[in-house]
Structures are given as C-alpha cells and as structure tokens.
Amino acid sequence: MHLYPDVTPSEHSLIARAGREGLHAAFAVPMRLKGSERFGGFIIGNWMEADEFERSFSDVAEDLRLFCLLMHRRIEDLTGTAPLPLPETPSAFGKLSPREAEVVNLLAHGYTRQQTAHRCNLSIHTVSDYAKSGYRKLGIRNRAQAAALVHGTAGEAAPKKG
C-alpha cells in the first residue's frame, strides 16, 4: 500500500483486512474505457510474497490486463449498465472493408461470432469469413490479437512470426 499514496481510507481498510486474511500480493487492473466517466476494475491476488508474485505474473501481465478489459466490456453489455461506445478503430483498420472492420471490432470487444452475426444481421459463417479476411489483412491470427490492436496494446501482443 505504501507504493500507492492515492489509496483512500476505505480502500486502505479493505487492503489491510485482505492482508490479515492471507492476501500478500495483488495485481490490480483499473478500468475506464474510452468515452466513460466511470471507473471499475479487477484485483487478482494470492498468498505469495510481492516479489515472488511479480516474477510469476510478469510474463502474463499484459494478457491479464487485456482479458480484464474485455471482461469489463462484456459485463457492462450483459448487465445493460450504461453500455459504452466502442473506441475508435485503429488506423490499421483502413486496410479493411467496412464490414470486415465492423466484424473484427466487435470480436475484439468480446462479442462471440454468434452475437456479432446477430448484431450485423449476417450468418455466423459470413462473420467467420469476414473475421478471417480481416485478420489476414491486419497480420494477426485471432481475436486476442485483434483486441490488443484495438485497445492499443498491440506492441505487447504482437503477432508471432513463423
């Protein structure tokens, strides 16, 4: 807690109580999507000492942040709590047809192919075709890499060659 001077007394109390219960280290992922005034977040913690925890999670930290971002978006979608607009598409999407950009953007935001098909009034097979074509044009292989591109973390989740 000493590393985070902006922790409120209420948050300090929660953290202290968690420590008494055995939580020694945590990975916090604050959430505030583009266009939103609201904050939220996820806390992933365990019994490890802070140094050990940091070493263990350093390789997957960006993947966890991206996963939390997608989960945050889907929770808001599913609960209908002030759905947020999708962020602007990255400039790389200029390579895509409008329909490819729409499909890849929805998939990158956590929508399933079935949900994307329903939202775009397409068949699931057509969504798959647009996704494959869009991924190929963007030089990526899957929705996780599309999400990293859309959410500005593409440097950490760049496509692997070979």
The predicted pLDDT at position 136 comes to 95
pLDDT tens-place string over residues 50-93 = 888 888 888 888 788 778 877 777 776 676 654 445 556 678 88
Domains in the chain and their CATH numbers?
A: 9-79 (no CATH), 91-150 (1.10.10.10)
| Paired tokens of 38 | 């609201």
The pLDDT of residue 6: 67
Residue in 32, 141, 157, 35 with CA at minimum distance from that of residue 88: 35
Per-residue pLDDT, 154: 54
Residues 26 and 53: their CA atoms lie apart, in Å, by 8
Q: Is 5 exposed, middle or buried (0-12, 13-18, 19+ CB in 10 A)?
A: exposed
* Residue 131 near residue 89, CB atoms below 8 Å: no
Ranges of the chain with pLDDT below 50: 82-84, 155-162
Q: Which of 83, 98, 122 is nearest to 113 (CA)?
A: 122
